[in-house]
Structure 1
Amino acid sequence: MSATQAAPSADRPVRGPGPRILVVEGALRDNGGLRVSHDLARRWQAAGARVRVLVLETVAPTVPLLQPDPGLDVRFASRKVRRFRTAVVPVVVGALRHARRADVVVSGSEIGYNLLVGWAAARVTRTPFVVLVQNSLPRAVADWTPAALRPLLSAVHRRVDAAVCVSPGLVEEVRRTGLPADRIHTAAIGIDVEATLQRVRDAGGPVRSASGRTRLVAAGRLAEQKGFDVLLDAVARVVAAGRDVELVLVGAGPLREVLARQVAELGLGERVELAGHVADPQPLLAGADLFVLSSRYEGNGSLVLLEALAHGVPVVATDCPTGPRYVLRDGEVGDLVPVEDPQALADAVLRHLDDPEPLRRKARLGPARARDFDQGPAAEEVARVLRSVRRRGRRG
């Protein structure tokens, strides 16, 4: 086990006088959804809850991993580096043991083995079960869930005690699973704005382009969802129009080699940097001339979009389901373009290069808008939902 995944002592007590909350995660692969649930857990504990995080799968540190808060009680279902499928029995037994000691079980995401195992353990132990829905449900299921498991996943979503959606646009998708409306809640889950800004100050300020070119920045997992192939096509069109731009693309993921080939084929080798995983991308974001979100779908518009707004950076985003239009107030705080349309994306960038002032005016509204999604109030709202299901008990 890597230092990143070091588990606390088994003798360590769960501190705090409040409710016992068990948060179930699939693994500690660093991503926006995991950072959200981890921060919620940290805030619940600070408010007096007794929080335990159960991680089902231990993975080798060859991928970017989240460093858990040292104050959180993080347990691993398996201490060996192995996939979930090779450790089903100890994982399930461990989940049952931890669920028996909890007042409520929370799945940190709407898909994955953590949802299935968490729900099963909660049902057997008659513990209320809550799921955080952080992405477009049908798209996430289609992209990340084996076909054989999709009916089971849908059945679980119909039976949870509560679903907490990170944006209003997700509510209808959850309702279509068959979950009663009174079990569906929303919370404007986002970022810790002050901590985001402080990281830039701690780093000595924003990191700006050293080439003199207009710098575009995009960030996220290098996966189909994020639409970076469309973004690269758009950048090629901007360059072909004679504009002196560069793109820094922050993130790791399964499509890195595919995107690297696309960069070469488009002749963008000197214009695009595939920066990989960056431990703290905030200085890069703060120093961008333009932030671009090219996603095919999102949950709340993506944490990195909120981070760019917090820094007051001009934004162009795809009008994808379900969050960017909501976050950008129908285009009041940043420009929206159609999904899967590289020419529209390129045109938006070109308009900004021709006259940057309109987007800069919108960007001045960004920090206040980011604070609408500050994680503190969101954590309190989700805690209220957890208290309500705890009082009612499991409803089946």
Structure 2
Amino acid sequence: MLEKLEYELEFITPAFIGGANSDEVSELRPASMVGMLRYWFRVIVGAFVESTEELFKLESELFGNQEKAGRVWVRVLNQGISTERKEYVLNERYERYLFGIKNGILIKKGSKFKLIVFTPKKYKEFTDYLIRFTLTFGNLGYRARKGFGSMDFDRKIEEIDIKFIKNLLRNTFDKDKRFEFTRNKEFPNISNAIFLKKKRIASNELENLGRIYYTFRRNGRENYKTVEYFTFIKDFLKNQGIRRIEIKNHMFGLPIMYTSRSLSCKKKIKGREKTIKAQAQLNWIQQVKNEEKKDNRRPAPFWISIKREMAYAVLFTSEFLPKDAEIILTAKGEFWEKCKKSNSPLTKTINNVNFDYSIYSIVENFLNRAGFTEKLFDFREVKDAK
């Protein structure tokens, strides 16, 4: 006999679930919700297991895998979902900056839907906690980490109690297992997380957050290039000797594309004159045995979720990049092919980049400046962890 859980949800910020530039209006599907639940399952349970194999075994018990079905069934009733596409779905300057593009398929803020979950009684209490945890701190869709796709609901998580979670795991999965809270830096989980919240004061929280994000990346100044651009990007683009390297914005996610304001040319393309600007990309690579070095993506280590009256932030301090990773700067775009035939930069490796915990203070400082100063949980204050 399955137990039924129901949640009434409302999008507080627009959600982009069809991909950033998709031409098709996407439905809100159960698979999207299950993907969210799987991620935050690892965040919670990853702090109480001894290996990733054990973690994925428990995850499969709940949600299934390629070999077997899970014990939890998710349904979405989305008759109240309203989707639209227009040239500029985000009208505010900093809201667009935070999102990164100007158009796309979106679910409008204010859209409501119902999430229905069926689960055996044995898993009901844990499943309810997982769903509430996920909806409190997580979002749905493109740019979810930066506040887009935030949903509000009743019974949000306001306390993270290690003892409660430990007992919940024992009662759900194995009464004979201790489920000790253990420090784990391999991937994002609550043993390396700081949970923060604040009371909303701005009518457009995304615009407010985008403005703070924009100026923070430019050392607190409007209409100013980032510290990376002034210390070495501009010299790289001009193929000049790099005198000093200062880097901090990689902590907001990689890759980062830089465009020169001054280095450009005009070319006729398909009968139209086009201004082509010089570009460079900051990214990271890792040498995998018997494989070529490849560019990779790395998301920002934080989540921001906006509610009607409150907003929540989670900062994960797990390993940002593998120990053998390298930060690289590479010439990108049409400029180097169409405008310059020689003397073009190729790739530069950025050495001695700091990846220890202190670098996360940059992101924590940003979150504090955005108003997230009230702590719900801080892994640094847990004294009895392994």
The TM-score, its normalising length taken from structure 2, stands at 0.32
Higher relative contact order (CA 8 A, sep 6+): 2
The TM-score, its normalising length taken from structure 1, stands at 0.31
Structure number with the higher strand fraction is: 2
Structure number with the higher helix fraction is: 1
